[in-house]
């Protein structure tokens, strides 16, 4: 095992120019490499890996438009303390890791999984992610997996862990055929880790400070190596904390790649005071959209990056970005008798795959010629979507916007922005409009199925073009068509291309029940 790289944390926010310099020096990555994005395709993956990711919404950006997941909250205890975490029970209005409305027994969880998967045939993944750490609750976790495997054998099993106990359970994980494991790794330098983790509880003893962080990072990296050696697909989650681990995550990225991680997900810190976390209460800020993207872009030169993460609750149900858990409360589930039909589910998913295969890719040669003729322009656009890879959401009903980078390489998904609803109960919420525009202020255009006069005017005033002529059309094809026309306008002198500023990442994460 390689020794952790020692690197001092920055005491202030990292500048974009500086992070670009650090990226160039440490990763040797310029514009990136083909196939780095998290959307998987058969062309650059072994068949065995493709089968694992093609319908896993967290491991494939393209799949997350079509397939759903479910988390069951059977693991309440945790063995470490994170300064960005506050586990909340019976909380309906927050959507972030560690939050749940119901804690379940393994028996309740298994019955709920069967009911949800029967109702949502595109649900392909059952995950255990808390609200504590699944491996700090091994009996409940593996009993749940065993019951689900017996009742719903077609579901993929997925586990998320902080990694402290991981080496002790690698054999059990493989025994239960859990072939997707996510490990949260925020540092490989204990000096930095001590600023993130006040303490850990390991082998019946509490450790603090640098000693705690050293034990944690050694165990995380050991567990990652052991899992990948057994063919388990591993995703690494990292929380970007400006001034603490932002530069250091470049080293984390290289370390986890060397140990066989398939995917790296760098997430923004959620740190509003109302969440009650240590970082939230002491004023630690999260990254801006530009800071986050700069870091993700740099790490992408080393390995695949996940950019479509929604930092889900520990009891999430449905497609990424949607919340259907209110439909499946334990009280409702226990009253019904569900017959699980594997063949019917397979038939439904086969139709999804037919539709995915039938999608045509936009012609790139003409796009490349146009983009190069005006200086290789790159820009961001935002899309309001309900899923299925379509522009199918009203501006006023959007709870988030998906962000794409357009260039001579086509349309590349780079992230999402949560927003407040503009229309609630049929009425416009004027106070939220400025916040929504602020969330997409770094974009040149917003693609929507429909938009009202007031928000249209305010977007134009802010320099963001509202685009509704592609309503209910595919995102890739539509955004590229708009980009080609945009390049023509620049080339003819009709408009002048200008760089956009930065945008704010929404610190609060409210779900549809709010």
Short-list 508, 507, 480, 486, CA closest to 498 = 486
- Mean pLDDT for the chain overall: 78
Q: Which superfamily is assigned to 373-513 in CATH?
A: Dinitrogenase iron-molybdenum cofactor biosynthesis domain (3.30.420.130)
- Residue percentage of the chain with pLDDT more than 70: 74
What are the residues facing 446 on neighbouring strands?
382, 466
pLDDT band at residue 40 under the 50/70/90 scheme: very low
Choose the weakest-confidence range: 99-103, 256-260, 378-382, 505-509: 505-509
Spatial separation of the C-alpha atoms in residues 238 and 395, rounded to whole Å: 31
Task: Determine whether 360 is exposed, middle or buried from the number of CB atoms within 10 Å of its CB (0-12, 13-18, 19+).
Answer: exposed
Domain 61-333, CATH among 3.10.580.10, 3.30.1130.10, 3.20.20.70, 3.30.1660.40: 3.20.20.70
Give the tokens for residue 214: 């050293």
Residue of 72, 59, 178, 75 whose CA lies nearest to 116: 72
Mean pLDDT of 476-505: 85
Neighbour count for residue 123 (Cβ, 10 Å):
25
Q: pTM here?
A: 0.63
**For the chain, domain boundaries:** 61-333, 373-513
Residue 174 has what pLDDT?
A: 95
Q: Which residues of 249-262 are buried (b: 16+ CB within 10 A; e: fewer)?
A: bbbbbbbbbebbbb
Task: Please tell me the distance from the alpha carbon of residue 6 to that of residue 444, in angstroms, as a whole number.
Answer: 40
pLDDT more than 90, % of the chain: 31
Residue 11 confidence (pLDDT) above 70: no
101-126: pLDDT as tens digits: 678 899 999 998 898 888 888 888 88
**Of 182, 187, 170, 164, nearest in space to 80 by CA:** 164
């Amino acid at each position: 095992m390689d020794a952790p790289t020692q690197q001092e944390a920055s005491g202030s926010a990292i500048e974009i120019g500086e992070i670009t310099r650090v990226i160039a020096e440490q990763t040797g990555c310029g514009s990136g490499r083909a196939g780095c994005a998290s959307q998987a395709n058969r062309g650059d993956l072994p068949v065995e890996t493709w089968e694992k990711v093609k319908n896993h919404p967290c491991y494939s950006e393209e799949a997350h438009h079509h397939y759903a997941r479910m988390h069951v909250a059977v693991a309440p205890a945790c063995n470490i303390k994170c300064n960005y975490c506050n586990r909340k029970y019976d909380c309906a209005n927050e959507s972030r890791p560690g939050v749940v409305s119901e804690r379940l027994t393994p028996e309740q969880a298994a019955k709920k999984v069967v009911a949800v998967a029967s109702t949502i045939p595109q649900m392909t993944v059952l995950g255990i992610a808390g609200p504590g750490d699944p491996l700090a609750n091994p009996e409940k976790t593996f009993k749940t997996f065993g019951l689900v495997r017996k009742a719903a054998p077609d579901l993929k099993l997925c586990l998320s862990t902080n990694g402290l106990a991981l080496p002790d359970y690698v054999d059990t994980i493989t025994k239960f055929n859990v072939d997707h494991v996510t490990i949260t790794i925020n540092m490989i330098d204990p000096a930095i880790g001590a600023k993130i983790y006040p303490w850990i509880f390991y082998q019946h003893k509490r450790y603090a400070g640098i000693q705690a962080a050293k034990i944690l990072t050694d165990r995380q990296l050991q567990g990652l190596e052991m899992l990948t050696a057994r063919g388990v697909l591993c995703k690494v989650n990292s929380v970007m904390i400006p001034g603490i681990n932002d530069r250091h995550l470049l080293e984390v990225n290289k370390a986890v790649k060397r140990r066989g991680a398939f995917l790296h997900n760098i997430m923004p810190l959620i740190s509003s005071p109302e969440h009650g976390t240590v970082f939230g209460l002491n004023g630690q800020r999260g990254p801006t959209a530009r800071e986050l993207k700069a870091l993700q872009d740099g790490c992408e030169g080393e390995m695949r990056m996940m950019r479509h993460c929604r930092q889900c609750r520990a009891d999430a149900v449905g497609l990424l970005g949607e919340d259907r858990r209110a439909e499946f409360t334990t009280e409702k589930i226990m009253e019904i008798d569900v017959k699980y039909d594997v063949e019917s589910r397979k038939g439904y998913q086969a139709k999804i795959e037919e539709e995915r295969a039938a999608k045509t890719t936009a012609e790139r040669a003409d796009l490349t010629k146009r983009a190069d003729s005006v200086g290789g322009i790159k820009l961001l656009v935002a899309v309001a979507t309900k899923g299925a890879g379509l522009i199918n959401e009203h501006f006023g009903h959007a709870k988030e916007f998906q962000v794409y980078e357009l260039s001579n390489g086509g349309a590349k998904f780079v992230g999402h922005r949560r927003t407040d609803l503009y229309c609630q109960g049929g009425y416009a919420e004027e106070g939220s409009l400025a916040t929504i525009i602020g969330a997409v202020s770094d974009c040149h255009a917003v693609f929507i199925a429909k938009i009202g006069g007031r928000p249209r005017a305010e977007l134009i005033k802010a320099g963001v073009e509202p685009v509704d002529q592609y309503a209910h059309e595919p995102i890739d094809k539509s955004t590229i068509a708009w980009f080609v026309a945009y390049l023509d306008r620049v080339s003819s002198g009709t408009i002048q291309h200008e760089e956009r500023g930065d945008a704010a990442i929404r610190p609060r994460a409210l779900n549809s029940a709010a």
